[in-house]
A and B are shown apart, each in its own frame.
Chain A
Amino acid sequence: MPALAVKSLYKIFGSRTDEAMRRLASGAPRAEALAGLPATAAVIDANFEVRPGEIFVVMGLSGSGKSTLIRMLNGLLRPTRGSVQVDGVELTTLKPAALRKLRREKISMVFQHFALMPHRTVLENAGYALEVAGLPKAERRERALDALRMVGLEEWADNLPHDLSGGMRQRVGLARALAAGTDILLMDEAFSALDPLIRREIQDQLLELQAELGKTIIFITHDLNEAMRLGDRIAVMRDGRIVQIGTAEEILTDPANGYVAQFVADVDRTRILTAASVMEKPHHVLDVNAGPRVAAKALRESQTSVVYVTGPMKRFLGTVTEDEVLRALREGHPNLDGYVSTERVRTVTADTAVADLFADCAESQHPVAVLDDRGRLAGVIPRITLLSALASATPESVAAVEKAAIPAQPDVELVAAKGEPA
């Protein structure tokens, strides 16, 4: 069962919402569909499921509806229509008291501007959820201190939030949510108000905590790099609609439309793309028990100078080149055992970022071998493949993708404006 499931969720502000919903059903852009109506559509037909233990990022620019969306997930806003299920419990029809109980037990939230209570100490802030739940003071203190320890702020417990820097305040915000002990964490632009270095630091801290605690996190951001860094999966929102849901890599390599392609154009792909996404199928792989004649034939046929050799369980052993094959033939050896070299080829794991492949590629005499988590040969990366993978990450090629997609897109003006000669 998903930790959180959202089905055909709408939020329309203003009046005549039924008419607005009817017009939006056709899938027309919201500005067009709602022209002349006294209604604003913040979220249109959102559908997604969040798995337990996953970081699910909702990314979009301001006005895309992401903050409205997250506030419907804990009932701070009532949806106009649709369903939100938390652990299988339908949230939209809960009575206020039951909704409060669900918030106490299942979902906590971290806010963009920290939303700490300035008149309470750091400890009292961190223990707020426990105070609401009615826990005795001693237990409250202990659990709040535990949470502060997790974010490295226990010695600040008796200070007021004012004494802390922005990054520290948001760590208190995080501690407050962690102390609540809920499985689901909603984070609304939680790191957006922090400056870049601090943001990076607290992102790392979140990832570390997540590895330890395995919470289900719904993270809202307008920062694509943040989305790519944190998200197990990312939902891209635009004008109230979710336009694509996928892993960072899926969104980069296979954008759903021109808008997403344009959005991801500035991302440093080499940090997101992995060896697995650029590698090629290894054409000439032989088992170590193959005879040297077979190896010679393979070399001749493929017109290359190297053959990749695998051992028992298909584990990668190394390579043989013409020289070794000739030596094996001369010495009359029945197989390649003893002739396999590990010198000339570098190996990397499948999840290595492309950015980290350059050194290996440069130092490897033959295409780099990519191994899966069991040490089996998954693919190879010749230098030329790495270069063309880089080339496809340049803005020109993205523009080309967009141009192909233009006829169906309302983004024509934007693209045209960009493409105009200076």
Chain B
Amino acid sequence: MSIAQSPLDSWLPRLPLGTWTESAVDWATRTLGPVFDAVATVVDTLVRPLENLLTGVPAVVVVLVLAGLGWWLRGWKFGLGTAVGLGLVAGMPYWEETMSTLAQVLVASLLALLLAIPLGVFIAENRRASAVARPVLDLMQTLPAFVYLIPAIFFFGIGTVPGVLATLVFSMPPGVRLTELGLRQVDKEIVQAAESFGAPPWMVLLRTKVPLALPTIMTGVNQVIMLALSMVVIAGMVGAGGLGDVIMFALSQVEVGSGFEGGIAVVVLAVVLDRLTDSVGDRFPSARAQRLARQAA
């Protein structure tokens, strides 16, 4: 350590950032306890019934429902692919864990989007808020995913709830960013046209800006779900259950076989969720209109 000590270094102030963070978390745990309890209850009441539903019905039903959805949204080829992929997962020993992961991803994404989209709308309309939000979003996105787990354990203990909440925080930023981007990219002249006919701000936002920004917002939704899926596996470290558990266990025991099975299940879920959410975005009239316009150009 002494090698790096040059006289100049003594000028640098020593920042006890770690200590501060610890005391902040301490303080939060002590004073905000009831708030955290309430949050935990909400998350728990959302995740558990969904998990029970997905694991309760026979695997065949889940496979057929998702394959049917895929067929309807993207065509028979994708429907067939979904059936084959999920059938493969159902044939492996980790179906219940896969469904538990799916439930966690869906709840975490839903909550993340409920926060991200209004926040994105707010900072798109407000330049100062945007300037404040940007570095915070950078921090949220680049902080190593594991780091979220530590305060999550402090606030919520071990289990599904800290896993889902850490996932929520980690997956939120692209939802905020792409909502903001989509709204800012709406043709200025069209916005002015709406304003020039006397439309109030809420009407300009809801009937003009949001519909035109929808394709970009849906890309954000898709990204949130993908990030949630990657985080929910890491959340296995705090005992969130699901595929994360399978993979963590395989890692600690160096079991190549079960590790690979867990990994394949994640990949299948990822592909199905990605393509499904992607095609939902394309079904909006505004997306169709813009695609047509691009083709014509």
Report A's interface with B, CB cutoff 8 A. 71, 74, 76, 97, 100-104, 107-109, 111-113, 115-119, 128-129, 132-133, 160-162, 176, 180, 186
Q: Which of B189, B212, B285, B286 contacts A112 (CB 8 A)?
A: B189
A74-B196, A129-B197 in contact; A162/B189 too (CB < 8 A)?
Answer: no
How far is B193's CA from A186's CA once the two chains are assembled, in angstroms?
Answer: 11
A118-B290, A119-B289 in contact; A132/B199 too (CB < 8 A)?
Answer: yes
With CB as the reference atom, state the residue of chain B lying closest to A163: B292
**Chain B residues within 8 Å of A117, by CB:** 190, 193-194, 208, 211-212
Q: Is the CB–CB distance between A76 and B196 below 8 Å?
A: yes
Q: Is the CB–CB distance between B198 and A133 below 8 Å?
A: yes
Asked if B200 is an interface residue, CB under 8 A from chain A, the answer is yes
Q: Is the CB–CB distance between A103 and B197 below 8 Å?
A: yes
**Chain B residues within 8 Å of A100, by CB:** 198-200
* Range class of the B interface residue count: 20 to 34
How far is B296's CA from A160's CA once the two chains are assembled, in angstroms?
Answer: 13
Q: How far is the CB of B182 from chain A (nearest CB, A)?
A: 14
Q: How far is the CB of B211 from chain A (nearest CB, A)?
A: 5
Q: Is the CB–CB distance between A115 and B192 below 8 Å?
A: yes
Please encode chain B, from 249 to 279, with 1 for each CB lying within 8 Å of some chain A CB and 0 for all others.
0000000000000000000000000000000
**Chain A residues within 8 Å of B296, by CB:** 162
Q: How far is the CB of B163 from chain A (nearest CB, A)?
A: 39
Q: Is the CB–CB distance between A103 and B198 below 8 Å?
A: yes
How far is B194's CA from A112's CA once the two chains are assembled, in angstroms?
Answer: 14
With CB as the reference atom, state the residue of chain A lying closest to B294: A162
With CB as the reference atom, state the residue of chain B lying closest to A99: B198
Q: Is the CB–CB distance between B197 and A113 below 8 Å?
A: no
In residues 53-104 of chain B, which contact A (Cβ within 8 Å)? none
Q: How far is the CB of A48 from chain B (nearest CB, A)?
A: 21
Asked if B293 is an interface residue, CB under 8 A from chain A, the answer is yes
Asked if B187 is an interface residue, CB under 8 A from chain A, the answer is yes
How far is B190's CA from A176's CA once the two chains are assembled, in angstroms?
Answer: 13
A118-B293, A162-B293 in contact; A132/B211 too (CB < 8 A)?
Answer: no
Q: Which of B190, B194, B284, B292 contacts A160 (CB 8 A)?
A: B292
Asked if B195 is an interface residue, CB under 8 A from chain A, the answer is yes
Q: Which of B212, B284, B289 contacts A162 (CB 8 A)?
A: B289
With CB as the reference atom, state the residue of chain A lying closest to B208: A117
**Chain A residues within 8 Å of B199, by CB:** 100, 132
**Chain A residues within 8 Å of B211, by CB:** 117, 119
Q: Is the CB–CB distance between B192 and A132 below 8 Å?
A: no
How far is B212's CA from A319's CA once the two chains are assembled, in angstroms?
Answer: 71
Q: Is the CB–CB distance between B189 and A111 below 8 Å?
A: yes
**Chain B residues within 8 Å of A129, by CB:** 197-198
In residues 195-230 of chain B, which contact A (Cβ within 8 Å)? 195-200, 203, 208, 211-212
Q: Is the CB–CB distance between B197 and A118 below 8 Å?
A: no
Q: List 20 A-B contacts (CB under 8 A).
A: A76-B192, A76-B196, A97-B200, A100-B198, A100-B200, A104-B198, A109-B192, A109-B197, A113-B187, A115-B187, A115-B192, A115-B193, A117-B190, A118-B290, A119-B212, A132-B194, A132-B203, A133-B198, A162-B293, A186-B196
**Chain A residues within 8 Å of B198, by CB:** 100-104, 129, 132-133
Please encode chain B, from 111 to 124, with 1 for each CB lying within 8 Å of some chain A CB and 0 for all others.
00000000000000
A115-B189, A118-B212 in contact; A162/B196 too (CB < 8 A)?
Answer: no
**Chain A residues within 8 Å of B286, by CB:** 118-119
Q: How far is the CB of A74 from chain B (nearest CB, A)?
A: 6
Q: Is the CB–CB distance between B292 and A162 below 8 Å?
A: yes
With CB as the reference atom, state the residue of chain A lying closest to B195: A76
How far is B290's CA from A116's CA once the two chains are assembled, in angstroms?
Answer: 12
How far is B190's CA from A220's CA once the two chains are assembled, in angstroms?
Answer: 18
Q: How far is the CB of A297 from chain B (nearest CB, A)?
A: 69
Q: Which of A103, A113, A118, A133 contacts B196 (CB 8 A)?
A: A103
In residues 154-212 of chain B, which contact A (Cβ within 8 Å)? 187, 189-190, 192-200, 203, 208, 211-212
How far is B208's CA from A132's CA once the two chains are assembled, in angstroms?
Answer: 12
**Chain B residues within 8 Å of A133, by CB:** 198
**Chain A residues within 8 Å of B189, by CB:** 111-113, 115
How far is B196's CA from A128's CA once the two chains are assembled, in angstroms?
Answer: 11
Q: Is the CB–CB distance between A160 and B289 below 8 Å?
A: yes
| Leading 9 A-B pairs by shortest Cβ distance | A104-B198, A119-B286, A115-B193, A118-B289, A103-B198, A100-B198, A109-B196, A115-B189, A129-B197
How far is B198's CA from A100's CA once the two chains are assembled, in angstroms?
Answer: 4
How far is B284's CA from A321's CA once the two chains are assembled, in angstroms?
Answer: 82
**Chain B residues within 8 Å of A109, by CB:** 192-193, 196-197
**Chain B residues within 8 Å of A113, by CB:** 187, 189
How far is B200's CA from A104's CA once the two chains are assembled, in angstroms?
Answer: 11
**Chain A residues within 8 Å of B200, by CB:** 97, 100
Known A118-B289, A129-B198; 18 more pairs at CB < 8 Å? A76-B192, A97-B200, A100-B198, A103-B196, A107-B196, A109-B193, A109-B196, A111-B193, A112-B189, A113-B189, A117-B211, A119-B211, A119-B285, A132-B198, A132-B203, A133-B198, A160-B292, A186-B196
**Chain B residues within 8 Å of A104, by CB:** 197-198
**Chain A residues within 8 Å of B292, by CB:** 160, 162
How far is B199's CA from A117's CA once the two chains are assembled, in angstroms?
Answer: 14
How far is B196's CA from A162's CA once the two chains are assembled, in angstroms?
Answer: 22
**Chain B residues within 8 Å of A116, by CB:** 190, 193
In residues 28-58 of chain B, which contact A (Cβ within 8 Å)? none
With CB as the reference atom, state the residue of chain A lying closest to B200: A100
How far is B297's CA from A162's CA once the two chains are assembled, in angstroms?
Answer: 10
The residue among B203, B208, B286, B289 with the most chain A CB atoms within 10 A of its own CB is B289
Q: How far is the CB of B125 from chain A (nearest CB, A)?
A: 14
The residue among B196, B208, B211 with the most chain A CB atoms within 10 A of its own CB is B196
With CB as the reference atom, state the residue of chain B lying closest to A121: B285
The residue among B193, B208, B212, B285 with the most chain A CB atoms within 10 A of its own CB is B193
**Chain B residues within 8 Å of A112, by CB:** 189
How far is B292's CA from A180's CA once the two chains are assembled, in angstroms?
Answer: 28
Q: How far is the CB of B289 from chain A (nearest CB, A)?
A: 4
How far is B200's CA from A293's CA once the two chains are assembled, in angstroms?
Answer: 81
